Structures are given as C-alpha cells and as structure tokens.
C-alpha cells in the first residue's frame, strides 16, 4: 500500500468517527501512515481511538485499518521454507492473554514434532497477563532476539521458534498499542483485532489458530465480547489469505497450578514430559489439533507425541538453538509465604484476575514496558475449584525476591476465594464448579 498524500485533516477524521460516521479507505490509510510518521499528534490519535472505542467500526473499516498497519512496515515470507526438499507448512498460534497461560511453551515443539514449522513471534507481559518471552528468559542463556536468517535457520532445522518481533514488523501497531495502554482504549474490539492480526498477517504464516480468553482474568470478560473479537479476527485473517480459526477458552480460573515466569516454565516441561495439570494438557492438545489440521497434517495424534518424548526432543533443540540450557536449574525466589484456607469445604472459586494481579505485585509482571521482572516470582496453587479443602490447608504459595511485596499481593487476593461449607445445611455447589471445560467454543469462517 503506497504512502498516501496528505489530503486529510486529523481533526476532520476525528469528528467523523466522533459523530458515528464511517471512515473512508483513504482517510484510514492517511491517518495510520501520518501517525506512524509523527504527522498526527499523540493527543489527536488518542481522541480518535477513544471515538473508535465508543462508536465502533464496521467490518470494512477494521479490515482497512488492519491493512494500513501491515503496510506501515515489513512483511515476512516463509513460502520458500524447505526441509529435505519438501516445503514446510507454517502455522502460528496467538493467545489474547491470561493468567498462568504457558501454553505456547509446550505447544510449539509439539506441533513441530509433526514436520510443521511454527514461527511464534511473541511479546512481553504487561499488567496482570504474563508474557511468553518473560517466561522463556527465565531459562539461563535463552535469548529472544533473532535476526531473520537465524529465525529461518531454526525453523528449517528445528521446526519451532519463539522470538521477539523486530521493530520493522507493523511499526504502526507498536506505536498505537503504547498509546492505547495509557489512554484507556485497550478494550476497543476493532483495535484489539487489528493489533493482533496486523502483526500476524505481516509475520507471513499461512495459517493461524487464535486462543481467545474469556473470564475475569481476560480482557474479554463476557462470552459475547470474546465471540465478537474472535469472529472479527477470523474474518480479518481469511480476508488476508491466512487460514484462521479461533477457540474461546476459559480464563475465570488460572491455567494450571502456577503463575509466574520460571514457575510456568517448569510446569510446561512437565507437560512435555507427559504429565502436568489436566487443564494445561487439555488446552495444549486442543490447540495442537487445530494447528495440525490448519497445516494440512491428517491423522496426527499430538497426545502420542507428548507421551513418547518427540515433543520434548524438539523443546530441547528449540531452547538450545536460542542459546538456552534446557538442563540448567531455573531461578527460585528468595522468599515464600503461604496463604491458607480460612475454612473447610469445597473450593468453588479462585479468581484468575486476583491471582494475576498478585503475581504482578510479587514481581512476575510489569506496570510499564521498561520495567524488569523477577524470574522466580509468582504463585503456586495447591487447590483448584471443585477440590475439597480443610481449614488451615495451604491454598497458595507466594514467591518473590522482595518480601515487602507480600502485603500488596495478599491485598490482591482478598475475596478471590469462595469455599462452600460441607454438611446438609450448606448451599448447593454450582454444577459447573471444578468441571467447566477449558474450550468453550470454536469460531471459524462461515
């Protein structure tokens, strides 16, 4: 998409969307390009994004906005990727972010074990949601920064790579995301969808599986909002020629039994070794099946590749290929503190958002992009909804290098747990407690 001449005024573009009008293709091309070049001021784009949050965009507007962000930078191309004379199919996965969401770590090696190339350009955590790069950087020596040639070499030789996106990939999105984060417009579905899909389309993968979280620990709190976001992104992918499907998955309770960087790496390795928490295994396998189907691999059994060690072999090669030592001990926090059950009964709720905020306050996350994280900080869960607990039993272990953080983490967890007393006078336990499926719905192009 060529750079558009300056034929628009930023204030006129803002007024159009403020007054619930439709932005023309030319106006969208101009404003995205002009903002990326610094012609449109930060306060003007802030006003426009707020107008988009309040008044929305139609499908054609979102598609054009996404295309304009893709056109702001470079596009990667994996079409020439080959191994042993055979073209390698490529497929990626993106999660909208959650608490304890370490799925990328076992998933990439698992899918790559079937001869599929999995280029995963990932990000860092901000606020209560953890970042994949932060998790992997807990492994001694592992590095996120790879140049294009190194990335292609690892995809060809290993099949899986997790790396930081370079600054040339959809630079409009990087600038716009930082603005949205400080102006209260992160939740705008057209802007979430275009942000995610502009990077994935520019990345150049031929197929994409989306993990759209819904629940207290997700950006999308309701199934209706999550479904709208999923459908918008699936359509954007299809319109750009990327085979795209989405799964709506539960984020009312943290995934697995850990939240925090090194803690989640250890849990991911358990899954690769054929064990791990049931919900993490369930979601890993569900996403793997979708990715393999999208890549055209028929009759694949990802569960067998976890059981027989093939996925673990790819994991070890992936980590080694990026400078890491898969056998090195993971960092451990200097201090721990235990949160116990206040009463006996059935644990019916453990709020994902509260756990994510607690992990963030313990040092596992960051409030600003430039903040550092503690590799060993986070929480370990000792019970999940549906479990029977006794008074005084450990529910959570808090981990940090800064013991002053314990107090604020406990504040975040206040009210995060519901325990239904046992006995004939107890209120009935919700039928779904402890039995809610991880995958709630599948969204594909109709």
Residue range 235-268, pLDDT digits in tens = 999 999 999 999 999 999 999 999 999 999 999 9
Share of the chain above pLDDT 70, in %: 93
| Average of per-residue pLDDT values in the chain | 91
**pLDDT value of position 222:** 95
pLDDT surpassing 70 at residue 2: no
Give the phi and the psi of residue 264 in degrees, each rounded to 5. -75, -30
pLDDT surpassing 50 at residue 97: yes
Residue range 338-378, pLDDT digits in tens = 999 999 999 999 999 999 999 999 999 876 666 788 999 99
3-state secondary structure of 256: coil
Alpha-carbon gap, residue 294 to 313, rounded angstroms: 23
Q: What is the CA radius of gyration of the chain?
A: 22
37 is catalytic: no
pTM here is: 0.91
- Mean predicted confidence (pLDDT) in 181-186: 84
**pLDDT value of position 124:** 72
Longest dimension (CA), the chain: 74
Residue range 48-73, pLDDT digits in tens = 999 999 999 999 999 999 999 999 99
Task: Identify the active-site residue in 29, 101, 173, 235.
Answer: 173
Pairing of strands 86-87, 82-83: antiparallel
Task: Identify the active-site residue in 72, 95, 194, 195.
Answer: 195
Residue range 309-346, pLDDT digits in tens = 999 999 999 999 999 999 999 999 999 999 999 999 99
pLDDT surpassing 90 at residue 3: no
151 contacts 163 by C-beta, under 8 angstroms: yes
Alpha-carbon gap, residue 120 to 94, rounded angstroms: 8
Six token digits for residue 385? 């909804």
Alpha-carbon gap, residue 210 to 217, rounded angstroms: 17
pLDDT surpassing 70 at residue 207: yes
b/e code 315-347 from CB counts within 10 Å (16+ = b): bbbbbebbebebeeeebebebebebebeebbbb
Six token digits for residue 437? 């499926």
122 is catalytic: no
Task: Identify the active-site residue in 64, 180, 317, 349.
Answer: 180
Task: Identify the active-site residue in 199, 231, 310, 317.
Answer: 199
**pLDDT value of position 337:** 98
94 is catalytic: yes
Q: What confidence tier does 425 reach under pLDDT thresholds 50, 70, 90?
A: very low
Pairing of strands 394-400, 378-381: antiparallel
Helix axes 42-55, 189-203, angle to 10 degrees: 110
Q: Which residue has the higher pLDDT, 388 or 427?
A: 388
User: 378 pairs with which residues across the strands?
Assistant: 399
Residue range 166-176, pLDDT digits in tens = 778 889 998 99
- Domains observed in the chain: 10-56 (no CATH), 82-328+439-443 (3.40.1030.10), 335-420 (3.90.1170.30)
Alpha-carbon gap, residue 397 to 409, rounded angstroms: 11
Residue 432 neighbours by CB under 8 Å, 6+ apart = none
Task: Identify the active-site residue in 17, 64, 94, 310.
Answer: 94
Residue 5 neighbours by CB under 8 Å, 6+ apart = 30
327 is catalytic: no
362: DSSP letter = I
**pLDDT value of position 143:** 95
9 is catalytic: no
Element (H, E) at 15: helix 10-18
Q: What confidence tier does 430 reach under pLDDT thresholds 50, 70, 90?
A: very low
**pLDDT value of position 87:** 87
Alpha-carbon gap, residue 306 to 288, rounded angstroms: 11
CA angle 100, 102, 308 (to 5 degrees): 130
């Amino acid at each position: 998409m060529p750079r558009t001449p300056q034929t628009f005024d930023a204030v006129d573009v803002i007024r159009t969307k403020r007054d619930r009008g439709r932005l023309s293709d030319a106006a969208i091309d101009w404003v995205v390009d002009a903002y990326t070049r610094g012609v449109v001021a930060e306060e003007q784009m802030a006003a426009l994004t707020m107008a988009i949050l309040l008044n929305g965009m139609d499908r054609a507007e979102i598609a054009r906005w996404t295309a304009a962000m893709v056109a702001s930078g470079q596009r990667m191309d994996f079409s020439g990727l080959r191994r042993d004379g055979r073209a390698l199919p490529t497929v990626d996965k993106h999660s909208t972010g959650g608490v304890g969401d370490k799925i990328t770590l076992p998933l990439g090696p698992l899918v790559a074990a079937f001869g599929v190339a999995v280029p995963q350009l990932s990000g860092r955590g901000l606020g209560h949601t953890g970042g994949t790069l932060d998790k992997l950087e807990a492994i001694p020596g592992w590095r996120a920064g790879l140049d294009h040639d190194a990335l292609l070499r690892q995809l060809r030789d290993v099949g899986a790579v997790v790396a930081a996106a370079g600054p040339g990939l959809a630079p409009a999105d990087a600038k716009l995301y930082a603005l949205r984060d400080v102006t209260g417009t992160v939740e705008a579905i057209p802007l979430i969808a275009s942000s995610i899909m502009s990077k994935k389309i520019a990345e150049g993968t031929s197929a994409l599986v989306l993990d759209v979280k819904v629940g207290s620990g997700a950006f999308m709190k309701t199934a209706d909002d999550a479904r709208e976001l999923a459908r918008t992104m699936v359509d954007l992918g299809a319109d750009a020629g990327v085979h795209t499907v989405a799964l709506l998955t539960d984020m009312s309770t943290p995934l697995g039994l850990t939240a925090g960087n090194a803690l989640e790496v250890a849990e991911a390795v358990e899954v690769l070794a054929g064990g791990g928490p049931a919900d993490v295994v369930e979601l890993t396998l569900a996403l793997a099946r979708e990715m393999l189907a999208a890549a055209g691999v028929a009759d694949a059994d990802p569960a067998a590749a976890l059981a027989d060690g093939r996925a673990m072999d790819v994991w070890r090669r992936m980590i080694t290929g990026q400078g890491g030592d898969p056998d090195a001990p993971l960092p451990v926090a200097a201090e721990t503190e235990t949160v116990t059950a206040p009463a006996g009964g059935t644990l019916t709720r453990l709020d994902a958002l509260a756990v994510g905020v607690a992990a963030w306050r313990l040092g596992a996350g960051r409030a600003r992009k430039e903040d550092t994280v503690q590799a060993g900080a986070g929480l370990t869960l000792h019970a999940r909804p549906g479990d029977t607990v006794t008074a005084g039993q450990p529910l959570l272990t808090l981990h940090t290098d800064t013991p002053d953080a314990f107090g604020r983490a406990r504040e975040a967890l206040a009210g995060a747990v519901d325990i239904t007393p046992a006995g004939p006078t107890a209120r009935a336990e919700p039928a779904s407690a402890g039995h809610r499926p991880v995958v709630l719905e599948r969204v594909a192009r109709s």
